[in-house]
Structure formats: C-alpha cells, structure tokens
Amino acid sequence: MIKLFRKKFMAKQVVETMIEGGKASAAPPLGPALGPTGLNIGQVVAEINKRTAEMKGMQVPIKVIVDTTAKTFTVEVGTPPATALIKKEAGIETAAANAKTEKLADLQIEQIIKIAKIKESDLGGGTLKNKIKEVIGTCGSMGILVEGMSHRDAIKAVNDGQFDAKIASGRTELTAEEKTHLEEAKKRLKEEMEKKRVEYEARAKAIMKEMEGKENKKIRGKMQEDGIPMKIIDELVPEEKKSGEAAAGAGTAKGGTGAAKGGAKK
C-alpha cells in the first residue's frame, strides 16, 4: 500500500510517495495530491520519470517540494530499499522463500560495495566496511551468496581483511567476465535447487507412505524434522482445519444450500 503525506509550512507544500522508477503518472496517488497545488502535473511527472529512469522495476521514494506562491517545484529522489538494489544486481524478481534452503544468486563483492555506497546515508554502520557487512547480512536473508560464501562466511572475510584491496580500489562495476560468472552461478544454483527439490519431494512422499493414516500434524512434524522446506510440506500435506473453522465452513455450506432451496420454493 502506497502512503502519501502532505506537509504545509509557509508557502511550501511537500508531497511524499513511492513510485516505480520511470513510471510515475498523473493517476492516484500522485495526481490527486498535486492537483490542488496548481502545478502542471505533466511537467512534474516528466521530471520524476527522468530522475528515476535508471531505477526501473524498483520502488523509489520521491519528494515533490512545491512553492505554492511561485507555482514552482523541485523533485528530490531517495534511494530504493537495499533489498530492491540487491535484487537488481542479482537479476532476480523475488527473494528466496526460505533463505536456509534456497540459494538464488552469487554476488561479487564489487556489487555489495556499490549497494553500500548507494545506501550509505541510510545504513547504520559507521564505516564503509560496516555498511558492506550490513548489505551482506541482507543478502543472507534473501538467499543470496557473496563470492560463493554464506553471509556469515562473507562477513568474516570482510572482518579478516580479505576484501580490503577491492574496497580501497573503489571499483563497483563488473567486467564482462565477472558478469558472465554471475549468470553462470545463477544458472548453477537454479539447477542445484531443482535437484534438491526433487530429493525433498521424494523424501516427503516416503514419509507420507510410512505414516499413512496418521494425522497431518504428525506427518508435517516429521517432515520438518527431516529438514523438508515448508513450501513443499504445505503443497503435499496441507494443515488440517481446526474444528471450529471446519464447523463454520460446514455451517456456511449448509446455509447456502438452505438459501438455494428457499429460492427454489419461491
């Protein structure tokens, strides 16, 4: 849900919202918020899209500061969330459903440094190294490796000075060879995930066969003990409805049937 705020002070008005990079429009929420200011909304939209063109596919915080007397405006563009920047660098649309069992991409330290620099004013760490470690931690929660390592190992590598030379160099863009490596790693991780999924499903079905006739709750518990991802468990053995929910569902169905009969009598 997009939140929109207005702040008025003296002859200025501030409109804040989130838009997809390069896709601002006069439609709600931006258009209606700017309407009362008397500005040419098309000009505002064009300026926002120009300023956010390179952030396509990401939600970007923007602030339009309006001088209500002179009927002029300025646009301030914030930075997308770190998660959005990470997804863009990794070339993925969504983070892992379970970061412990799913690994979607493998980023180079240069990409992490780039994100840390973009988000420098928003991250809590006092030094660039600390900000880099914060970004690496976020990668870990999204199922993304860094230089082939888990987030814990990558943070240790930063602490040990393994990336000091690269951090000092200031380079944040990848070479063609490094980009190729990134794509190959993503493809390899996808193949590994698909292979693991087949193995998890086979083990889950074996448990279902072993525990045939048992309550779903017990079967699900055994699957969780064996480390089977919840997504697969939910697909194969859905949670049983509580008695109250089942009764409510039955009552609704019964009521619906009664209403249908009543309608038929009329």
CATH number where 161 lies? 1.10.10.250
Q: What pLDDT is attached to residue 126?
A: 82
Mean pLDDT lowest among 150-159, 182-191, 197-206: 182-191
**Nearest CA among 21, 23, 18 for reference residue 55:** 21
Boundary (domain end) residue, out of 43, 77, 111:
77
Full residue range of the structural domain in which residue 14 is found: 5-77
What gap in Å lies between CA 247 and CA 117, rounded to an integer?
Answer: 56
100: enclosing H helix or E strand: none
DSSP-assigned beta bridge partners for residue 60? 19
Q: Are residues 131 and 145 in the same domain?
A: yes
How many other C-beta atoms are found inside a 10 Å radius of the C-beta of residue 201? 15
Q: Are residues 209 and 228 in the same domain?
A: yes
Q: Are residues 96 and 170 in the same domain?
A: yes
DSSP-assigned beta bridge partners for residue 13? 8, 66
Q: Model pTM greater than 0.85?
A: no
What gap in Å lies between CA 101 and CA 23, rounded to an integer?
Answer: 35
For residues 79 and 119, the answer to whether their CB atoms sit within 8 Å is yes
Residue 182 is assigned to a structural domain of this protein: no
Residue 49 is assigned to a structural domain of this protein: yes
**Nearest CA among 187, 178, 174 for reference residue 104:** 187
Q: What pLDDT is attached to residue 254?
A: 52
Residue 1 has pLDDT above 70, yes or no: no
- Token representation of residue 217: 């709750």
Q: What is the CATH classification number for the domain harbouring 54?
A: 3.30.1550.10
